[in-house]
Amino acid sequence: MKQNRNSSIMAVLLAILFILFSFQAQSIAQDKTTQIDEFVKLWHETGTFNGTVLVAEKGKVIFKKGYGLANIEWDIPHKPDMKFRIGSITKQFTSMLIMQLVEKGKINLQGKLSDYLPYYRKDIGEKVTIHHLLTHTSGIPSYTRNMARLQEARQDPYPVDEFVKNYCSDDLEFEPGSEYRYNNSGYFILGAIIEAMTGEPYTDVLQEKILDPVGMKDTGYDHPVPLIKNRAAGYSITFDGYVNAEYLNMSLPYAAGSLYSTVEDLYKWDQALYTDELISKKMKKEMFKPHVASGKESHYAYGWGISKRSFPKSKEKLNSVSHGGGINGFNTLIERLVDDKHLIVIFNNTPGARLSSMSEGIIRILYGKPYTPPKKSIAKAIYDAVVENGVEEAVKQYHELQKNKKKEYNFQPRELNRLGYDLLYRKKMVKEAIEIFKLNIEVNPNYANGYDSLGEAYMVDGNKKLAIKNYAKSLEMDPNNKNAVEKLSELMKMK
């Protein structure tokens, strides 16, 4: 009888402990979601983030929310089901389709480009492999580096094979496999190979082989004609406020960047990647393995960046699998901490926020680490001062803010560089731009790009001597600065 009583007491105590533990766990989870919400709000309040965020912990969604407006003109607020153009996150879907074809024996990772696209120029096609295309080591120049040349193709749909011939077939920048250089042409070509090997349009293969099996009903190829419910509009940020993003014909990004999705659908995608539903474990291992160029391990696998997150004063390292996307009016990020099955998805329709910094802050919250709140843009503050009081007063204000409010503002060199270019080209304030670039190298004397930018401003101003001086200084500090080499050559030819 006594034993039964003791057993009953023990059972009651265990039940109480379980309830207390459950309440404590729930309280910790709620505290994390509150911290995440407050952290993202700060980014929104700086004027650099406007979009949706989803966070999963150990495979379970603990946070999803929208901030700001999906359509500024109509005051339509963001919700987690808003559809965004995801840009280069598209590449991981393209790489998955390729790996499915590899698993079926229709494609060989070491197979040559010419084996699959007979119309491709032979001198390059017989050197470049599928592996090179997947890992950005092909040496084929990226068509997005020459946007001026693309102007003729920006308005209307362009046949895939014709685009490959005209824009993805330039002379090699380096021997295949010898370097890593991020490249949209490679993934455009992979899309063409998928169509050639299946006999179906890329969009249909994607729908059949990935979107339908995973249940991603809010993801698709961003064709211009169909109506897409809950589509977020894309914007650009100027120092005077938001403007509509420049139009882009979405047949151009194609298999390198033409998909739209929601943060909720990318959670489904994340969960599917932990299963063998789409490809086998063996193929997934190959897909997520960082590869090698010239004997050096790259951070890039097949359509994914591979890295380790670490914390200050800690030996702890987190295996991160991630990719960002940037396209007219949008920037996006998916980051997977695969050992613990954590996920961060961030979509922004007013590009300006550094999404990797946002993700880092959220990761710190998940792991109970201190995080740094975002800082206000010093460029915006100084721009307002230039417009209101002139550049001399603006320079004085910069020094005052740097002395008294260093923790409140972002004083990284790119801030003043961004402001200088805005004054130089958008506002046509050349003299003011020169003073801002001069300020940048005064406070950041080791910033090679600052001298390059000042050289450009002097070139626009017609001051050949000072343009040469600053381009030469930039090249001295950064011997790999090809722009400085080209500009110096151009200046030397000028009378």
Which is more confidently placed, 60 or 313? Answer: 60
Residue 102 shares a structural domain with residue 237: yes
Residue 65 counted as domain residue: no
Residue 276 shares a structural domain with residue 413: no
Element (H, E) at 481: none
Q: Which of 348, 366, 384 is the last residue of a domain?
A: 366
Residue 417 shares a structural domain with residue 271: no
Residue 207 counted as domain residue: yes
pLDDT at 155 over 70: no
Quick one: tokens of 288?
Answer: 């997520």
pLDDT at 297: 66
CB atoms within 10 A of CB 361: 23
Residue 333 shares a structural domain with residue 438: no
Average pLDDT over residues 285-300: 81
DSSP 222-235: --SSS--TTBPP-E
pLDDT at 16 over 70: no
Residue 445 shares a structural domain with residue 483: yes
pLDDT tens column, 474-490:
999 999 898 999 999 99
pLDDT at 185 over 50: yes
CB atoms within 10 A of CB 414: 14
pLDDT at 7 over 50: yes
Angle at alpha carbon of residue 245, lines to 244 and 248, rounded to 5°:
135
Confidence of residue 158 (pLDDT cuts 50, 70, 90): confident
pLDDT at 413 over 70: yes
Residue 28 counted as domain residue: no
Percentage, residues of the chain above pLDDT 70: 91
pLDDT tens column, 96-135:
999 999 999 999 999 999 999 999 999 999 999 999 999 9
Amino acid at 202: Y
Domain range enclosing 100: 87-366
As a whole number of Å, the CA-based R_g of the chain is 26
Residue 323 shares a structural domain with residue 409: no
DSSP 235-288: EEEETTEEEEPPP--TTTTGGGT-EEE-HHHHHHHHHHTTSSSSS-HHHHHHHT
Q: Using CA atoms, how far apart are residues 289 and 307, in angstroms rounded to an integer?
A: 11
pLDDT at 314: 73
pLDDT at 293: 66
Residue 181 shares a structural domain with residue 285: yes
pLDDT at 2 over 60: no
Confidence of residue 22 (pLDDT cuts 50, 70, 90): very low
pLDDT tens column, 364-393:
999 999 999 999 999 999 999 999 999 999
Q: Using CA atoms, how far apart are residues 228 and 98, in angstroms rounded to an integer?
A: 27
Phi-psi category of 58—alpha, beta or left, where left has phi over 0 and alpha has psi -120 to 50? left
Angle at alpha carbon of residue 357, lines to 38 and 182, rounded to 5°:
145
Which is more confidently placed, 153 or 173? Answer: 173
Residue 174 shares a structural domain with residue 203: yes
Which is more confidently placed, 25 or 223? Answer: 223
pLDDT tens column, 341-372:
999 999 999 998 899 999 999 999 999 999 99
3-state secondary structure of 353: coil
| Lowest-pLDDT choice from 19-23, 136-140, 190-194, 464-468 | 19-23
Exposure string over 477-494, b if 16+ CB within 10 A, otherwise e: bbeebeebeebbeebeee
Average pLDDT over residues 197-221: 98
Q: Which of 366, 397, 416 is the last residue of a domain?
A: 366
pLDDT tens column, 23-51:
344 444 569 999 999 999 999 999 889 99
DSSP 153-205: GSSS---HHHHHHHHS-PPPSS-TTS-----HHHHHHHHHHHHHHHSS-HHHH
Over the chain, what is the mean pLDDT?
Answer: 91
| Lowest-pLDDT choice from 68-82, 114-128, 153-167 | 153-167
CA 27 to chain centre: 33
Average pLDDT over residues 251-261: 95
